[in-house]
């Protein structure tokens, strides 16, 4: 039944963002503590995020446009943590130097 | 201490008091679901709910104003312009809130005429306050704007944070004027009403709390101005970029054209992206300082803000933001769950963080610590997470039973309300509400007695 599948999709979408958050958190912690285990955890969490994204794309009764948006979001979520981290380091380096 | 900072303490005291009223009204609203006969014929559910959501808006607004009145003279190096007017209006504001609350409780509602609109209830969710009180809010916000902008003009010095704050104050005041029209066309009325509700909450308030957190970061962690201003610009741009047209997710089912389905869904789906950046930012800030600060409660509440915003706004919001899904989830306890989590994460945690910072300064404490703030932090967050979890279960039950399989008929509504999962969810929400209320009690006691209790200073000194 389409309605039920849409509501199950809602739960998958929640998991989709939650796993992206878990990836961002563990990525940042890994960079902070220089721990390989955390870096691996970040990779695993992003992998799970991708699996959920693939699940939604393949299985969910959403239109093509929404599925494309989810794929684009997944790519953005992959790069946001490293780009943010790099820029944070940059601003702190230059900010502290000029302060 | 500046007069403005004394006023800030009063605003924060009023905010925390109204936070308590919100908790009590929330507990009452939750209890009505368990025992619908509660206070039958005396105080109806709708009044308790009005008190709950209106005090939510007012306590956060007072908290924001208190924070700005605290930081403003330090930022500008002088007493704000027209502070005497703000001092008077603080008492007018408090008196108006008290009178409106008494009218809501005693008179409750009137006829559908101008007298009821002006003196009893405007009947529009979140802005139920009668017109005379709404005019009072405009006056208070107008003076607040005058204090901020006038001070910048008088000092002839403009910092990055103040520039963002000044620009933000214009829509903050202007959008509130949307509280007044009494349009009889429901679609048209809701169209404009959402400008007030959504654009306050997901645009102007986001910018305001961004400015407040920028000030807090500088004081709490000693972060340089250049860094906080750079990130303020980036985060404000991202939040506004996704948040303004995210307004469309409220236009799905109110009679607006179909294109809002695409616009609202698209921009709302982008909203988790800046929140993910904020999570990374929070870990960086806390981690580079090794969680060391003279004010641990303030730091922990600030961290809770970043994570709560991501979970409440990002995860909970994303579940129900696409129009196909929202068709079944809107107006259920699922939405209520998202609303509770998002308001808590985005705003309430930030105001509590500032409250701890101000208490530290006012009482001249070198370190803030002790055990009580941990109890408060744990109980408030556990209570909140328990509540939103229980509401999520209840809301999903409604969406599945009432909407998806029942077809939104009256019979399906009743079936949804009687479903054991819904009933258990509402029971659990009340129980976790009690945990949250206990956390509020710890918070108030801690804020009132910090620096005055024996043991707190010692504990803080030993364990910074």
In whole angstroms, what is the distance from residue B277 CA to residue B274 CA?
A: 5
- Read off the pLDDT band of A44 (50, 70, 90): very high
**Which run of H or E residues covers position B43?**
none
Q: Is the pTM of this model over 0.90?
A: yes
Q: Is pLDDT of B459 > 50?
A: no
Say what the pLDDT of residue B70 is: 97
**Which candidate in B322, B323, B326, B403 is best for mutational testing of the A interface (most A CBs within 10 A)?**
B322
The pLDDT confidence band at residue A3, using thresholds 50, 70 and 90, is confident
Do residues B195 and B181 make contact, with C-beta atoms less than 8 angstroms apart? Answer: no
Rounded alpha-carbon distances, angstroms, from residue B350 to B124, B246, B356: 27, 23, 10
Each residue's pLDDT tens digit, B62-85: 999 999 999 999 999 999 999 999
Counting residues of chain B whose pLDDT is more than 90, the rounded percentage is 71
CB proximity list for B92: less than 8 A, separation 6 or greater: B136, B139, B140
Given a cut of 50, whether residue B394 has pLDDT beyond it is yes
User: What does the pLDDT average to over B358-366?
Assistant: 93
pLDDT at B293 over 90: no
Distance CA B396, CA B253 (A): 19
- How far CA B70 is from CA of B5, B10, B17, B66, in Å, comes to 5, 11, 18, 6
At A98, is the pLDDT very low, low, confident or very high (cuts 50, 70, 90)?
low
Region B40-60 average pLDDT: 94
Three-state DSSP state, B295: strand
- What is the distance in angstroms between the Cα of B218 and the nearest Cα belonging to chain A? 12
Q: Tell me whether A86 touches chain B (CB under 8 Å).
A: no
What is the rounded distance in angstroms from the CA atom of residue B20 to the CA atom of residue B52? Answer: 10
Q: Which of B226, B265, B315 is facing A98, going by the closest CB pair?
A: B226
Owning domain of residue A69: 2-98
In the predicted model, is pLDDT for residue B302 greater than 50? Answer: yes
**Å between B210 CA and nearest CA of chain A:** 17
For residue B454, pLDDT over 70 is answered with no
- Residue B17 confidence (pLDDT): 97
Please compute the mean of the pLDDT values over residues B162-175 and round it to a whole number: 91
Q: Does the residue B21 lie in any domain? A: yes
Instruction: Encode pLDDT of B222-268 as tens digits.
Output: 888 888 888 889 878 887 788 888 889 999 999 999 999 999 999 98
Query: Do B101 and B21 touch, CB atoms closer than 8 A?
Result: yes
Give the rounded percent of residues in chain A with a pLDDT score beyond 90: 77
Between B2 and B452, the higher pLDDT residue: B2
What tokens appear for B447 in the block? Answer: 């804020």
Kindly identify which residue of chain B lies nearest to residue A34, measuring between CA atoms.
Answer: B287
Task: Sort B118 into a burial class: Cβ within 10 Å, 0-12 / 13-18 / 19+.
Answer: middle
Chain B residues bordering chain A (beta-carbon distance below 8 Å): 224-227, 230-231, 262, 265-266, 269-270, 272-273, 276-277, 279-281, 283-284, 287-288, 310-311, 314-316, 318-320, 322, 324-325, 327-329, 396, 399-400, 403-405
| Mean pLDDT across B268-297 | 86
- Which residues in chain B touch residue A99, judged by CB atoms under 8 angstroms apart? 224-226
ipTM over 0.85: yes
Higher pLDDT among residues A28 and B179, named by residue: A28
Across the interface, whether the CB atoms of B314 and A66 are under 8 A apart is answered no
In a domain, B274, yes or no: no
Let me know how long chain A is.
99
Residue B321 pLDDT greater than 90, yes or no: yes
Chain B positions in Cβ-Cβ contact with residue A96 (cut-off 8 Å): 224, 227
Angstrom CA distances, B63 to B59, B70, B263, B406, stand at: 6, 11, 33, 43
Q: Give yes or no for A99 touching B (CB within 8 A).
A: yes
Mean pLDDT of B275-298: 86
Half-sphere exposure of B439 (CA within 13 A, CB side): 23
B320 CA: distance to closest CA in chain A (Å): 6
Please, which pLDDT band fits residue B221 given cuts at 50, 70 and 90?
confident
What is the Cα B380 distance to its own chain's centre?
Answer: 15
Partners of residue B62 on adjacent β-strands = none
Amino acid B46: pLDDT: 92
Tell me which DSSP letter residue B37 carries: T
Domain count of the fold of chain A: 1
Interface contact B329-A96, CB threshold 8 A = no
Q: Distances from the Cα of B152 to the Cαs of A71, B155, B156, B171, B201, in angstroms?
A: 46, 5, 6, 18, 25
Give me the number of domains chain B comprises. Answer: 1
Q: What is the mean pLDDT of chain B?
A: 91
Query: Chain B residue with minimal CA distance to A79?
Result: B277
Other residues' Cβ atoms within 10 Å of the Cβ of residue B77: 10
- What mean pLDDT comes out for the span B372-377? 96
Averaged pLDDT for residues B24-39: 95
Task: Give the bridge partners for B295, in sequence order.
Answer: B368
What's the pLDDT tens digit per position in B96-147? 999 999 999 999 888 888 899 999 998 888 888 999 999 999 999 999 999 9
Interface of A with B in 33-52 (CB under 8 A): 33
What's the pLDDT band for B456 if we cut at 50, 70, 90? low
The secondary structure element, H or E, covering residue B65 is: helix B45-76
The pLDDT confidence band at residue B460, using thresholds 50, 70 and 90, is very low
B279 CA to chain A: closest CA distance, Å?
7
B351 and B215 in contact (C-beta within 8 Å)? no
Residues from chain A that touch B306, judged by Cβ atoms under 8 A, are none
* pLDDT cut 70: percent of chain B above it: 98
Structure tokens at B342: 């998002």
> Cβ distance B379 to B435 under 8 Å?
yes
- For residue B37, give its domain range: 1-157
pLDDT at A75 over 50: yes
Contacts of residue A26 in chain B, CB cutoff 8 Å?
none
Q: How many CB pairs under 8 A join A and B?
A: 124
- Assigned token pair, B315: 């995860």
The reply to whether residue A95 touches residue B227, judged by beta carbons under 8 angstroms, is yes
Residue B428 exposure: Cα atoms within 13 Å on the Cβ side: 20
d(CA B355, CA B302): 11
Pairwise pLDDT comparison (B140 vs B180), residue with the higher score: B140
pLDDT of residue A96: 61
């Amino acid at each position: 039944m389409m309605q039920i599948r849409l509501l199950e999709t809602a739960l998958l979408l929640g998991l989709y963002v939650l796993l992206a958050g878990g990836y961002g958190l563990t990525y940042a912690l890994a960079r902070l503590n220089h721990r390989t285990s955390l870096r691996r955890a970040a990779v695993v969490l992003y992998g799970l995020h991708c699996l959920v994204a693939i699940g939604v794309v393949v299985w969910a009764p959403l239109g093509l446009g929404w599925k494309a948006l989810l794929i684009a979001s997944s790519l953005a979520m992959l790069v946001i943590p490293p780009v943010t981290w790099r820029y944070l380091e940059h601003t702190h380096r230059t900010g502290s130097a000029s302060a | 201490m500046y007069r403005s900072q004394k006023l800030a303490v009063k605003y924060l005291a009023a905010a925390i008091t109204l936070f308590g009223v919100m908790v009590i009204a929330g507990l009452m609203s939750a209890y009505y679901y368990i025992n619908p006969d509660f206070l039958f014929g005396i105080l109806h559910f709708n009044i308790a709910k009005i008190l709950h959501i209106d005090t939510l808006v007012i306590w956060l607004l007072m908290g924001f104003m208190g924070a700005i009145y605290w930081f403003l003279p330090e930022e500008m190096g002088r007493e704000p312009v027209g502070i005497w007017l703000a001092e008077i209006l603080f008492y007018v504001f408090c008196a108006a809130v008290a009178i409106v609350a008494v009218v809501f409780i005693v008179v409750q509602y009137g006829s559908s005429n101008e007298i009821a609109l002006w003196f009893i209830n405007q009947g529009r969710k979140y802005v139920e306050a009668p017109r005379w009180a709404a005019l009072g809010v405009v006056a208070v916000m107008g003076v607040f704007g005058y204090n901020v902008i006038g001070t910048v003009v008088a000092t002839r010095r403009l910092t990055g944070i103040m520039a963002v704050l000044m620009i933000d104050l214009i829509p903050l005041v202007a959008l509130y004027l949307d509280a007044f029209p009494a349009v009889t066309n429901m679609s048209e009325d809701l169209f404009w009403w959402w400008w007030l509700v959504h654009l306050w909450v997901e645009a102007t308030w986001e910018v305001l709390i961004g400015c407040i957190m920028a000030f807090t970061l500088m004081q709490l962690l000693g972060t340089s101005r250049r860094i906080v201003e750079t990130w303020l610009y980036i985060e404000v741009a991202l939040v506004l970029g996704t948040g303004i047209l995210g307004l469309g997710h409220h236009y799905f089912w109110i009679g607006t054209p179909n294109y809002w389905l695409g616009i609202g869904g698209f921009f709302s789906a982008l909203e988790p992206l800046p929140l993910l950046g904020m999570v990374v930012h929070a870990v960086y800030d806390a981690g580079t300082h090794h969680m060391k600060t003279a004010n641990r409660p303030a730091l922990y509440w600030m961290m809770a803000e970043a994570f709560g915003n991501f979970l409440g706004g990002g995860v909970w919001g994303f579940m129900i933001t696409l129009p196909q899904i929202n068709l079944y989830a809107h107006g259920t306890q699922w939405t209520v769950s998202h609303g509770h989590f998002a308001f808590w994460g985005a705003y309430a945690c930030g105001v509590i963080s500032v409250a701890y910072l101000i208490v530290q300064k006012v009482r001249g404490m070198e370190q803030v610590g002790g055990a009580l703030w941990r109890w408060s932090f744990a109980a408030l967050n556990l209570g909140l997470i328990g509540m939103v979890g229980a509401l999520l279960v209840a809301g999903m039950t409604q969406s599945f039973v009432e909407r998806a399989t029942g077809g939104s008929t009256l019979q399906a509504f009743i079936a949804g309300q009687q479903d054991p999962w819904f009933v258990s969810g509402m029971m659990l929400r009340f129980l976790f509400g009690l945990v949250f209320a206990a956390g509020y009690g710890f918070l108030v006691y801690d804020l009132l007695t910090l620096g005055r209790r024996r043991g707190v200073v010692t504990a803080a000194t030993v364990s910074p």
